[in-house]
Structure 1
Amino acid sequence: MINLDASDLFKVTLKVTLLLLAGRTTIPLLLRYFRSTLCHDVPTVGSSNALLSFLGVFRFWHDAVGMIQDGNAKYPGRAFQLPHPDRWIVYVTDPELIREISSMSTSFVSLMGASDYLFQVQYTGLYQDQQVVNLIRTRITRTLPTLVPKMCETAAEFLRETIPDTGNGWATLPALDVMSECASRITARMFVGSTPAHDKEYTRLCIQWVLGIVKTSILLNSAPNFTRRTLNWLFNPLPRILDQATKNLTSFINQRVSSLHEKSEEEESNETLLDGLLRLNNDRPLDTSLITKKLLSGSFAAIHTTSNILTFAILYLASRPEYIPWLREEVSTCVRNGQWTKSSIESMVRLESFLQESMRLSSVSAVSVLRRTVQPLTLSDGSYIPEGTILLASSLPAHRDPSKYPNPDAFDGRRFHTEEDSLTSPSLAYFPFGFGPHTCPGRFIASSILKTVMAQIVLHYDVKLDRPARPADCWVGIMSFPDPSSKVLFRRIRDEHSDWL
């Protein structure tokens, strides 16, 4: 998953050999711990036998979606358990159980506790601090009216630089790489400022940080607990990436510190996440590494989520070019004469419908609500859940429910066109950003990025696939990714919209 150079081979071989030898004595301990995480009142998908359940672990990494669907069909209205490499995890798909778990008090369940486990925070170093969450929820979200024009400018600039002008010909580009770089630049513009956003080294490091978090957490979650420290030591690139990013940003951070007190009231209202973090730092000694880690961690969700969703969506669009005229007509009307504003973006109901349908069929994760119990509790279905249990709510069955979505496995970009619920308004029939009081605080920012980039592409480019059909999404456990080999062909159109940003 993470490339190794030749000098690492001996070290890796030695450590893996030691792990295998250690496994002869630790496997009984592992089985004992694995059994201790089983909730005896909750049914399992597959065998609950400690040894046989490991067959379910192998299936989980290749077919978690199928296992969730099996649990939903086999145990309607009930919670059920799936085997992960080091523990049993409780899943719910019933709408009322999802509502119940989502609304539970923090005295019973913890969102951060579950997130820490899934992203292996003790090893990856992903900084999950309420300070960053509050700044994104309040300061950044409130400034979206001034941020959206900057997003549009940044997206248009990036696409012009990245997609070669071939006249009437087509330019072939790797879809995920392009969308990741675009999302990274826009996020850097919002969270740090214009200068880092145009620094290709910094935006590259942001993408590397995202990939490092995802790859390392998948690797560690696929291994028993007793191997994680060694695997982390062997394969985790994040300390090196953080060190490089800190060196890259230190000079800029110091400049921002010296200029903070000279800002006008209007400039203060347009502050970035970096500015907010520096103000909260007050008179404490400046730790540029910690500030950089907070910025990278705040950028993680924005880049990871939006780059994957954008790639899923552009692949649907490229495989169904009949939607392009329908969407382009709306975008050209909403931003007539280049009026790229928050209100014009929000008025693009056709584009929102297309994105909602893309997210319904291609989600970045099989779960949208995650919690960890901080004390024992009993669910309304009678399931007794011990302290320390991971609870996950999957949106997949709801998003494929034929009673709510006729012909649910077919893509219909007009499906949500007449619906009142928006991309950012969760319901128990549609909740890609979560549900309840802890719904993703960055969903409004993510929605603005998604619509901005898609609108720029729809208005200025024709697109098509490099193959006859849209490539299938790739799943690793509960995480979903676009096919990394997928390419999209772009062709710049020339009409009265050509000069509009």
Structure 2
Amino acid sequence: MHEPFLNATMVTATQALVASAVLFFAYHLFRFHSVRSKIAHVPTVGSDNFLLSFVDVCKAMLFAEDKAVKEGYRKYRGSAFKIRTPYTSTGWYVVVSGEQMIEELRTASSDVLSFLEGVAESLQTEYTSGPQSRTSHAQVPVIRGPLTRSLMTHFSDLKDELVNACDTFLPDSHDWEVLPSVHETNVHIVCRTSNRIFVGLPLCRDPEFLELQEGWTISVVLGSFALLWTPDFLKPVVGPLVSRVKSTTRKVEAFLRETILERTRVGAKNGAEWERNQEDLISWMIDAAAPESRDVETITSRVMLVNFAAIHTISLVLTSVMLELAARREYHEALREEIEEMISTYGWSKEATSRMLKLDSFLKESIRVSGMANFGSPRKAMKDFTFSNGITIPAGYTVTIAASGIHADPEIYEDPMDFKGFRFYDMNQKDAADQEEASDMEGTRNQSTSLGPTWWAFGHGRHACPGRSFALTEVKAILCHLLLNYDLKLPNDATEPPPGFWFAGQRAPQPGAKILFRKRMAP
């Protein structure tokens, strides 16, 4: 009796599904041609065809996203090209290079070319990390100021926590043992070490608190990726489904509420006196916040945003460098000699790590070769912007830098496809030799924290990564501990690290990449 009704229902549902698919395809086809027409004056790398360009995007993201950028850089060096991408609402990046265009991009007013809107779009922050992350950036001066300065006064805390974390998560044997997932382990180590400065003991070792920070970091990356493929009109529906920001914030608030309320109360009573008693990210955030923003939810959200940036960036860099170290064991002795010399002279300190120029060079070369940054400093045009060479970026489109192309430019880096661990150390030595009466810290403009038009791992100009000094110091401190206390190598004594994969504009380490560890014998 119900069979005719069921058949009719199935037919109707099929027709509706087909109609929806046709409308979806028609919408994107129309939008593709409409959007592309406004930047038709910019040459394309890859296909200009709707379907084939979509295939290009999928192939690039699954295999080698930097190939298209490097191809465009070679063809249009000093100018611009466009490339299909899921990282913008228009589906296109306009990619530029050359000192003149980069300088014009760097100095453009934020109300014309907005870095903050470019980042908000690529990370879909309205949904993945909450609207506050788009409208308020009070954490930036805290990162540049007290957090970075804390490396001088709280380095012993950082060192104590990284040693404890390594003891917890790394093999403890004088025989070779396999660490099955290097990156996952590094996320644990970095989360604990960073939170020693962010929230202090004992919370930085609380398994539930750490799991919340790590899980939310992953959800921001995966959620933004899913939303970039979602049509704009569906994002209000899909966004809450892929985001964990509200539920995670509530859970983190439970850990921080009493601390925030108590410090806010004491601060209101005693002025700035409380800051000298509580030196951590929570206190610095309260101190920097406007009176109306010193509520639990706001301070918690800002602590979480710093956690996301630290865990994501530091663990990626650390894993890439560790894989290079494990592959290139011929560098170990020279690095250990430098580390031991600096520590014996300056102790375990921020100053000691700053003077480890060989370690810094190896770190920077690892970042350059690993392709951590495919694009640099994305800026969304809030108004039409025209470069001096006549290339116009229409309002609503995003312009970015060909970072991976620059990092592989033979006119900038000799033999750019070869890994040279002391490349930047040698460059610094040459700079120092060219200076009369050079001190032992001169000639360091090629260090990993440096900024410039040929180095794009951490941006350039006023929007460069504010936490790069904190991140790189933490990585160096962990590497020092590893090199002094462990031997490490790749399975089968491989001399090249396993290839990574491109994801969301960055090359991430291969999932499940392994390193063999053994504890070093005491001298």
Q: Which stretch shows the higher mean deviation, 391-400 or 276-285?
A: 276-285
The residue number in structure 2 matching 1:94 is: 98
CA apart distance, 1:328: 0.8
CA apart distance, 1:162: 1.9
Paired with 2:448 and 2:321, the residues of 1 have a C-alpha distance of: 14
The residue number in structure 2 matching 1:442 is: 467
Q: Which stretch shows the higher mean deviation, 444-453 or 401-410?
A: 401-410
Given that 2:275 and 2:284 are in contact with CA atoms closer than 8 Å, whether structure 1 keeps it comes out as no
Matched position secondary structure for 1:409: coil
Given that 1:242 and 1:292 are in contact with CA atoms closer than 8 Å, whether structure 2 keeps it comes out as yes
Question: Aligned match of 2:287 in 273, 279, 294?
Answer: 279
Deviation string 1:200-229 (CA, Å, 9 cap, x unpaired) is: 221221111110111111111133334434
Given that 2:178 and 2:514 are in contact with CA atoms closer than 8 Å, whether structure 1 keeps it comes out as no
Change (3 A) 1:219 1:365: farther
Q: Which stretch shows the higher mean deviation, 463-472 or 373-382?
A: 463-472
Whether 1:474 aligns to 2:510 is no
Matched position secondary structure for 1:462: strand
CA apart distance, 1:255: 4.2
Unaligned runs of 5+ in 1: 1-14, 497-501
Given that 1:37 and 1:389 are in contact with CA atoms closer than 8 Å, whether structure 2 keeps it comes out as no
Given that 2:112 and 2:382 are in contact with CA atoms closer than 8 Å, whether structure 1 keeps it comes out as yes
Given that 2:73 and 2:402 are in contact with CA atoms closer than 8 Å, whether structure 1 keeps it comes out as no
CA apart distance, 1:112: 0.6
The one-letter code sitting in structure 1 at the alignment partner of 2:230 is A
The residue number in structure 1 matching 2:485 is: 460
Paired with 1:395 and 1:136, the residues of 2 have a C-alpha distance of: 24
The residue number in structure 1 matching 2:362 is: 354
Given that 1:99 and 1:436 are in contact with CA atoms closer than 8 Å, whether structure 2 keeps it comes out as no
CA apart distance, 1:54: 2.8
The residue number in structure 1 matching 2:8 is: none
Q: Under a length normalisation based on structure 2, what TM-score does the superposition of the two structures give?
A: 0.85
Paired with 1:174 and 1:19, the residues of 2 have a C-alpha distance of: 42
Whether 1:43 aligns to 2:43 is yes
Whether 1:197 aligns to 2:204 is yes
Given that 1:309 and 1:359 are in contact with CA atoms closer than 8 Å, whether structure 2 keeps it comes out as yes
Change (3 A) 1:251 1:23: farther
Deviation string 1:456-482 (CA, Å, 9 cap, x unpaired) is: 111111111134342101112522211
CA apart distance, 1:495: 2.1
Pairwise CA RMSD of aligned residues?
Answer: 2.7
Matched position secondary structure for 1:61: helix
CA apart distance, 1:354: 0.6
Q: Which has the higher helix share?
A: 2
Change (3 A) 1:440 1:286: closer
Structure number with greater Rg is 2
The residue number in structure 2 matching 1:378 is: 386
Given that 1:156 and 1:456 are in contact with CA atoms closer than 8 Å, whether structure 2 keeps it comes out as yes
- Describe how 1:80-479 pairs up with structure 2 within 5 A: 80-85=81-86, 86-126=90-130, 127-128=133-134, 129-170=136-177, 172-258=179-265, 260=267, 268=276, 271-281=279-289, 284=292, 287-336=295-344, 339-418=347-426, 419=428, 420=444, 421-467=446-492, 468=494, 469-479=496-506
Given that 2:346 and 2:352 are in contact with CA atoms closer than 8 Å, whether structure 1 keeps it comes out as no
CA apart distance, 1:351: 0.6
Given that 2:118 and 2:379 are in contact with CA atoms closer than 8 Å, whether structure 1 keeps it comes out as yes
Given that 2:180 and 2:512 are in contact with CA atoms closer than 8 Å, whether structure 1 keeps it comes out as no
Given that 1:79 and 1:92 are in contact with CA atoms closer than 8 Å, whether structure 2 keeps it comes out as yes
Paired with 1:301 and 1:318, the residues of 2 have a C-alpha distance of: 26
Q: Which stretch shows the higher mean deviation, 136-145 or 316-325?
A: 136-145
CA apart distance, 1:283: 5.1
Paired with 1:363 and 1:17, the residues of 2 have a C-alpha distance of: 46
Unaligned runs of 5+ in 2: 1-12, 429-443
Given that 2:373 and 2:456 are in contact with CA atoms closer than 8 Å, whether structure 1 keeps it comes out as no
Paired with 1:231 and 1:248, the residues of 2 have a C-alpha distance of: 29
The one-letter code sitting in structure 1 at the alignment partner of 2:73 is N
Change (3 A) 1:94 1:277: same
Given that 2:176 and 2:516 are in contact with CA atoms closer than 8 Å, whether structure 1 keeps it comes out as no
Q: Under a length normalisation based on structure 1, what TM-score does the superposition of the two structures give?
A: 0.89
The one-letter code sitting in structure 2 at the alignment partner of 1:27 is F
The one-letter code sitting in structure 1 at the alignment partner of 2:99 is P
Change (3 A) 1:157 1:383: same
The one-letter code sitting in structure 2 at the alignment partner of 1:66 is K
Change (3 A) 1:35 1:324: same
The residue number in structure 1 matching 2:4 is: none
| Runs of 4+ with deviation above 6 angstroms | 15-20
CA apart distance, 1:178: 1.7
The residue number in structure 2 matching 1:23 is: 21
Deviation string 1:296-351 (CA, Å, 9 cap, x unpaired) is: 11221111111000000000001111211111111111112892111111111111
The one-letter code sitting in structure 2 at the alignment partner of 1:209 is W
Change (3 A) 1:285 1:396: closer
Paired with 1:287 and 1:61, the residues of 2 have a C-alpha distance of: 41
The count of residues paired between Structure 1 and Structure 2 equals 482
